[in-house]
Copies of this chain bind each other. A is one copy, B any other.
Amino acid sequence: MAVSSAPPRARALLQQCLASRLQAFHWYFKMRQKPVTPQQKIQRGLVIYICFFKGASEELIPKMVNTLLNVKLSETESGKYVSLLDLPGNLLIIPQATLGGRLKGRNMQYHSNIEKEKGMELYSHFVTLCEKELAANTKCAEAGVVVKYGTYGNRQVLKLDTNGPFTHMIEF
């Protein structure tokens, strides 16, 4: 059975977490040099890895943010699955261009990925809109949940602690 569909314009990967910590570093050989940003640390919530493909544009962002913040993939203490907004949970966003790779022989190629400048713009817009939505949500605001995020194009050191990786992919 063949599937005919337009290629995706963005790919998101979601993982629940109990805690997660990300820090971007300047890298020199195998050594972590000075950090680019303060440590991005969250407690219970969601880690979203994000990648944009060629053809992605600003119009896509509100739909992505709406879907990702409302999809019921966050487990409550009683074992029910609700949205991140309803949990309410923290959010760690990680730019992850490698998610756009396609296998060619023994290597991955990234020809479908968006140009770096445009990707940075979309990523920044995505982060801003997530922050806005969480701030506007009463439950989230009352619980004091936070949005943290990695920087585009830097080496990022990640620590992830989860009660079940529960990994989902959503394409747009």
Contact = CB atoms under 8 A, between A and B. Distances in A.
Interface of A: 1-7, 11, 13, 29-30, 32, 49, 67, 70-73, 77-79, 83, 94, 96, 98-99, 101, 103, 106-108, 155-170
B4 A2 contact: yes
Contacts of A161: 158-159
A103 B13 CA distance: 12
**What copy number does this chain have within its complex?**
2
A87 to B, nearest CB: 13
Contact of A167 (B1, B72, B96, B164): B96
Nearest to A159: B161
Given A13-B13, A77-B30, A163 B167 contact: no
